[in-house]
Amino acid sequence: MGNLGEDDTVFKGEFVIGEQTCIISISIIMPKIIQKIVDQIIAHARREAPDECCGLLAGDKGGLQTAPTITEIYEIKNLPADDPRIAELKIAESRTVRYMMDPKEQIQAMRNMRERNLTMLGIYHSHPHSPAFPSATDVRLAFYPEVFYLIISLEQTAPDLRGFFIIDPKITEAKIEIVQC
C-alpha cells in the first residue's frame, strides 16, 4: 500500500448543483502501523479483558501520495457503568460490550499530540467476546470520519485486528499494513 489507488476509495456519491450532476469520490490512505504499536494494542486488550479497552493512535500524517504512519498509542480509560455520561449516550452499561473514553484523558492525549506535532490517525477498541467488526453503537458513535477505527477481537485464541473507515453510516474495511520500524 502507501500510494493512493482506486481500491482506497471509501466514499462515492452524487450531488446536483442546478442542472449539473457532480460525482464525488473520497479516497483515504490507510495508515501504516508499527509492529510495536500492534503489540501494545493486543497487550492492552488482554489486560482489560473481559472489558473492552480503548485508545487513540497518532503519528505522522504522511504526504499527498504516501501513507501516514502510526507511531504512538494513547491508552484511554473506559468509563465505568456508574458514570452519568453513560446513561446520557444511551449505550450499554457493561464495559464488556461497549467503550466510552474518559473525556479528560482523551483531551490530555490530544494536547500531547498537538505539543508533539502528531496527528490523530485512529481510534482503537477491543471486542473481547465478538468479531472485529463495528457494532451498531460503534457506528452511531463514530464522531471522527477522518480517522480509521481499529478493532481487535479476542473472541478466538489468536487476536484478530481489523481496520475500518466509518462515514455516516457506511463501513468500509481498510487493509492494515504492519511495518517493523
How far apart, in whole angstroms, are the C-alpha atoms of residue 8 and residue 24?
14
Q: In total, how many domains does the chain have?
A: 1
Q: Is residue 10 part of a domain?
A: no
pLDDT in tens, 82-126: 777 776 766 767 777 788 899 999 999 999 999 999 999 999 999
Domain harbouring 120, CATH code: 3.40.140.10
- Any residues with CB less than 8 A from the CB of 51 and at least 6 apart, and which? 78, 95, 96, 128
Q: Given a cut of 70, is residue 16 above it in pLDDT?
A: no
Residue 4's pLDDT band (cuts 50, 70, 90):
very low
For 168, the domain range is 29-179
Amino acid 6 reads E
In a domain, 163, yes or no: yes
Task: Place 5 in a pLDDT band, splitting at 50, 70 and 90.
Answer: very low
Answer whether residue 112 is part of any domain.
yes
Contacts by 132-141, CB closer than 8 A, 24 or more apart? 132/160, 132/161, 132/162, 133/162, 133/164, 133/171, 134/164, 134/166, 134/171, 135/98, 137/91, 137/92, 137/98, 138/166, 139/166, 139/169, 139/171, 140/169, 141/89, 141/91
Instruction: State percent of the chain over pLDDT 70.
Output: 80
Per-residue pLDDT tens over the stretch 127-141: 999 999 999 889 988
Is 120 a member of any domain?
A: yes
Write down the pLDDT at residue 130.
Answer: 94
Q: Any idea which residue has 473492552 for its cell?
A: 52
Residue 12 included in any domain: no
Q: How confident is the model at residue 64 (pLDDT cuts 50, 70, 90)?
A: low
Q: Is residue 170 domain-resident?
A: yes
